[in-house]
Amino acid sequence: MSDISIRKEGKAGRITLTRPEALNALSYDMCLAIDAALIKWADDDDVALILIDAEGDRAFCAGGDIREIYEIGLSGDHTRAQEFWRDEYRMNARLFEFPKPVVSFMQGFTMGGGVGVGCHGSHRIMARSSRMAMPECGIGLVPDVGGSMILAHAPGRLGEYIGMTGARLAPGDAIHAGFADYVIRQAEWDALKADLIRTGDPSHIDEAAIPPIPGNLSAMQPMIDAHFGGGSLGEIVASLRAEDSQFAENTLELLGRNSPLSMACTVEMLHRMSDTRDVRTTLELEYRFVYRALEHSDLVEGIRAAVIDKDRNPNWEYDMENLPQEAVEHMLAPLGDKKLTF
């Protein structure tokens, strides 16, 4: 497959995303290939660790292939999209639960589906120039691929802020929020990969790490915590509107770009996930939303506005003031016999 390279080198099982012209966006076939390799390598004594990287400087992985999802949405037959998410989420769970070290090297942008590949391992590496985001609310989706669990356990109310605004995280913020572990100079990556392949021992990663520069979100945390502790989207918006400050004004502008239904569901999901670190529980909840997304959410319209027509003027079904709680409950209701299983 030209979009991904999967092979054994030395003591490493290697997964390289090779689709740089598409910012290494994940296709369904790429997800299936990763999952198959993980199944095979879990019991392979020749594989001491997994090494995940990507070609190109612009992105480790900028997310799932949402053009593919859009075309499925227009077709009216949503089965293939539901299968895509089902099998992607099973792969995310397998990565999270993998019994050997999983080392990811994330250059450029890591967003959305890329978080599900790069941020569930044991050793998550960024460069100084790397950036991370979960921008799903901007296209009518919710933070998924297990990312909602990371957000739910971020310090204070950072998870709600990051998930609702789609904020881009510099390495210091990504580490602070729980998406990454190390900053290592990108010029040293090749030598470190060679060492991992030769030894199968990730202990040298600690020696190569440099201190992360504190990010903007750390400084903003008192303001974020003050406004994003509400139990619903409406309460968060009301808190921001009650304050005359640059932070409140800027944040309301960010929220105003995104799908109110997606943001409201994100808040509810993070609150439900706050007491668990079980990735399967997380993915099962996320799957409830995405299973219904093409028919009952803003997803098709969000992709149209952001990626297809690029007019940046989506017509969301609701606005932030009149979103009924029943719409949130519907999107996150159990799926019965359609429930995600592992």
- If asked whether residues 43 and 109 sit together in one domain, one would say yes
Q: Does residue 148 belong to any structural domain of this protein?
A: no
In the chain, the number of structural domains is 2
Q: Does residue 229 belong to any structural domain of this protein?
A: yes
- If asked whether residues 14 and 126 sit together in one domain, one would say yes
Q: Are 17 and 61 in contact (CB under 8 A)?
A: yes
Q: Does residue 252 belong to any structural domain of this protein?
A: yes
Q: Does residue 149 belong to any structural domain of this protein?
A: no
Q: Does residue 158 belong to any structural domain of this protein?
A: no
Could you write out the DSSP letters of every residue in 99-159?
SS-EEEEE-BEEETHHHHHHSSSSEEEE-TT-EEE--GGGGT--S-TTHHHHHHTSSTTHH
Domain boundary among 208, 236, 269: 208
Residue 93 lies in domain: 4-135+166-208
Q: Does residue 270 belong to any structural domain of this protein?
A: yes
The Cα 339–Cα 285 span in angstroms is 9
- If asked whether residues 184 and 125 sit together in one domain, one would say yes
Instruction: Identify the pLDDT of residue 78.
Output: 92
- If asked whether residues 203 and 229 sit together in one domain, one would say no
- If asked whether residues 193 and 109 sit together in one domain, one would say yes
Stretches where the chain sits below pLDDT 70 are 1
Q: Which CA distances in Å does 295 have to 80, 112, 153, 245, 263?
A: 13, 21, 30, 38, 17
**Residue 175 is encoded by which pair of tokens?**
């580490």
Instruction: Identify the pLDDT of residue 20.
Output: 97
Does the reported pTM lie above 0.75?
A: yes
- If asked whether residues 182 and 230 sit together in one domain, one would say no
What phi, psi does 282 have (nearest 5°)?
-60, -50
Q: Does residue 144 belong to any structural domain of this protein?
A: no
- The CA angle 287-302-56, to the nearest 5 degrees, is 80
- If asked whether residues 38 and 124 sit together in one domain, one would say yes
Instruction: Identify the pLDDT of residue 206.
Output: 95
- If asked whether residues 56 and 126 sit together in one domain, one would say yes
Among the listed residues 330, 292, 282, the one whose alpha carbon sits nearest the alpha carbon of residue 93: 282
- If asked whether residues 49 and 178 sit together in one domain, one would say yes
- If asked whether residues 182 and 103 sit together in one domain, one would say yes
Domain boundary among 181, 208, 235: 208
Contacts (Cβ under 8 Å, ≥6 apart) of 339: 284, 287
Place of tokens 């201190």: 211
Instruction: Identify the pLDDT of residue 1.
Output: 53
- If asked whether residues 224 and 194 sit together in one domain, one would say no
CATH of the domain at 113: 3.90.226.10
Domain boundary among 148, 175, 208: 208
Q: Does residue 155 belong to any structural domain of this protein?
A: no
Q: 235-292, pLDDT tens digit by residue?
A: 999 999 999 999 999 999 999 999 999 999 999 999 999 999 999 999 999 999 999 9
Instruction: Identify the pLDDT of residue 182.
Output: 98
- If asked whether residues 112 and 243 sit together in one domain, one would say no
